[in-house]
Structure 1
């Protein structure tokens, strides 16, 4: 396949691009500057500018664009960037596909498990209703933008959890852990949906060739709490896990980001992905952390 990737230089995009090329696919990368290489296509998602004819030359589009959720704190201005960066990029891609004479056959567009909100005690699948809160609103609007793609294009919105790999949110968590500044966040019993980088990439490759459309949860098959994730990492790094940061302190320091990223409980199951036959390389948080620390996660 010839695959157009938005966000190819990011944490997930870099690993996905390498995997696709290893598998024999051709990758075109969207860049927010003048294109300099043969595999680059220039665009300006904030302005809605892209050469829509590129859509006639590709079989698939993968949208990984969006301001990082790991960037803290979430000021009012940054919350606007989180929303606008996702909506602008997704609408630009969908509009370009609608203008193409022969649009791509598949569109994989990013989303997040934040759509479910804080749901302690519930087992969440793709059939679960959206929750409430800032991220729930962002993801719903993000997925609505992806739905503007042409009817001829199979569209999947993949709802990712915390990606366990050397980048993204885990990079900051690993740094703090190595410094000995790790410990329980709130009660520690809140469920953190996670997925190994190798499976995030593997699931995207799987979805390119699947018949699935609509929302698909990209999370590991074995749920884990925040305590389990953080304590396992500390143990693997031989660092202490003795601190305790109260919910009140987290809320004071980080506000909305604390409530929606660190303290929200989401026990999410990858129901549709499992039913479609995807086989996880890392089925537990232990395996995912081992893969991250050994550098084996995602063939890159």
Structure 2
């Protein structure tokens, strides 16, 4: 299977490429925004902001995996930053989907990143792929992001919108930022600690992507989250346990809002109790279904 991947240098993309390169059945083509001396030969350059993507990029491609987008936690959400977050997802996905739809020989499947931010702040409510969109900036972004794939779907391409929870890995993502303060003994719950944090270990993300490629009955939104539903309090206590450190220094909600503004509210204090309903119903087996086991693996 020949796979075109955008965002190949990111947390998920780099792990996915490493995995696919170890499999004899896959050939990778990287979709990149800038060519560099270190870039592999099998790359295609595109410019979503200017609508540049040559049809030749899709020659012989069987599947497309779109993982690109500006880091949502890179800096405080000014109006300019929010526009960058939105544009980096909507423009690139719209361009990719429209180009795919126009091809005579189309790939069979498009897997596109999204997030559980789609559901907004839902308190203790369990949400699955049939749940309605929530409120907030991230919910707006995710809805537009997913709708941008519709031109590919309407052209007959199987589309999966991967609604990622917090991806756990020691080399990147939110967990990598949390480990140092927790090791120093200054970790603790955020706000009330009652908000649910949906999470998934990076190896399970990669396994789930391969599962979705193979299982043609899957399409539409798919929650990429582990079945172990935990609150922020449970998350931080478990992290402290694995690191053998106390978690007795909570950060009040007002402090988070003061320091990080809207970004802090949506990324740290919002509650998303998402379930992996479609994955589990299709028969996917999680390598790390429990949070403590996931921590012990990714932090070793």
Where has structure 1 moved over 6 Å in runs of 4 or more?
A: none
Instruction: Find the residue that maps to 1:158 and give its secondary structure.
Output: strand
Distance (Å, rounded) in 1 between the aligned partners of 2:52 and 2:174: 30
Larger CA deviation: 183-192 vs 67-76: 67-76
Calculate the aligned-residue CA RMSD, in Å: 1.3
Larger CA deviation: 229-238 vs 285-294: 229-238
* Aligned position for 2:286: 280
1:215 to partner: Cα distance: 0.5
* Aligned position for 1:2: 2
> Within the alignment, does 1:160 sit opposite 2:164 as a pair?
yes
Choose the corresponding residue for 2:151, options 121, 140, 148.
148
Structure 2: state its 5+ residue gaps: none
CA contact (8 A) 1:219 1:270 kept: yes
Distance (Å, rounded) in 2 between the aligned partners of 1:113 and 1:270: 11
| 1:175-186 alignment runs, 5 A limit | 175-186=180-191
Choose the corresponding residue for 1:50, options 48, 53, 64.
53
> Within the alignment, does 1:33 sit opposite 2:34 as a pair?
yes
Structure 1: state its 5+ residue gaps: 295-300
1:178 to partner: Cα distance: 2.5
Distance (Å, rounded) in 2 between the aligned partners of 1:58 and 1:275: 29
> Within the alignment, does 1:63 sit opposite 2:66 as a pair?
yes
CA contact (8 A) 1:31 1:40 kept: yes
* Aligned position for 1:297: none
Instruction: Find the residue that maps to 2:44 and give its secondary structure.
Output: strand
Distance (Å, rounded) in 2 between the aligned partners of 1:188 and 1:194: 15
Larger CA deviation: 223-232 vs 154-163: 223-232
* Aligned position for 1:123: 126
Q: How many residues align?
A: 294
| 1:1-300 alignment runs, 5 A limit | 1-24=1-24, 25-34=26-35, 37-149=40-152, 150-166=154-170, 167-211=172-216, 212-294=218-300
Deviation track 1:81-106 (CA, whole Å, cap 9, x = no partner) reads 11110011111211221232201100
Distance (Å, rounded) in 2 between the aligned partners of 1:90 and 1:155: 12
CA contact (8 A) 2:124 2:196 kept: no
Distance (Å, rounded) in 1 between the aligned partners of 2:186 and 2:79: 28
Deviation track 1:105-140 (CA, whole Å, cap 9, x = no partner) reads 000000000000000121101111110010000000
Distance (Å, rounded) in 2 between the aligned partners of 1:42 and 1:53: 11
Structure 2-normalised TM-score? 0.94
